[in-house]
Amino acid sequence: RHPLATFFHLFFRVSAIITYLLCDWFSNSFVACFVTILLLLSFDFWSVKNVTGRLLVGLRWWNQIDEDGKSHWVFEAKRVPTIAASTEAEARIFWLGLIICPVIWTVFLFSTLFSLKLKWLALVIAGISLQTANLYGYIHCKLGRQKSTSRVTS
C-alpha cells in the first residue's frame, strides 16, 4: 500500500552502508564521503522517524516541551491497526530494516577500532546513535501499545 515509503525506508540506510563500504571507489576525498554518509544518515533518521514509521506500522514518537520547560517523550500508536497481507509484509520489512542496520554499524565500529582507522570513528558513532535512537523509539511505541491492550483485555 505504501511502496514509496518502503523504498525510502530502506534506501537511505542501505545507501549509507554501501557508501561507507565503497567510499574508496567513489572518490578519494574523505570529506566528500563523510558529508555524504552523514547526510544520508540524517535523512534516514528523519524519514524513518517522521514518515515511514507512521505510514508502515502506525507508530510515532517525539519529544515535547511543555510550558514549564519539562521535556516529555511521547510514544504513540495507531489505535486500530489494520491487518492485511500487504501491511504484514511492509511491517516485516520495516522492523527488519530497523534492526539489521544498527547491528551492521556496530560491526563497523569494531572494525574501525581494530584497524585503527580512527578518522571514521566519529561517523560510525553518529550512525549508531541515530539508528539506535529510532530503534529504541519504535520498540518503546510497540511495547507501549501491547501494554495498553493487555490492560484492556485483563
Partner 1 sequence: FAGLADVSISEDIPVEGEITVPVGSHSPDEDFSTLDEPVRDTILRDLKAVGKKFVHVMYPKKSSALLRDWDLWGPLVLCVSLALMLQGGSADSKDDGGPQFAEVFVVIWFGAVVITLNSKLLGGTISFFQSLCVLGYCVLPLTVAMLVCRLVLLAGAGTVSFIVRLIVVVAMFGWSTLASTAFLADSQPPNRKALVVYPIFLFYFVISWMILTFTPQ
Which residues make up the interface to partner 1 (CB under 8 A)?
A: 28-31, 34-35, 38-39, 42, 46, 50-51, 54, 58, 60, 63, 65, 69-71, 76, 78, 119, 122-123, 144, 148-149, 151-152
- Looking at this protein, which amino acid is placed at residue 47? S
* DSSP H or E stretch at residue 54: none
Q: How many other C-beta atoms lie within 10 A of the C-beta of residue 108?
A: 19
**Comparison of 3 and 69: residue with beta carbon closer to partner 1:** 69
- Looking at this protein, which amino acid is placed at residue 123? L
**In degrees to the nearest 10, what's the CA dihedral of 51, 6, 123, 131?**
60
**Comparison of 21 and 103: residue with beta carbon closer to partner 1:** 21
Closest distance of CB 58 from partner 1, Å: 8
Closest distance of CB 106 from partner 1, Å: 20
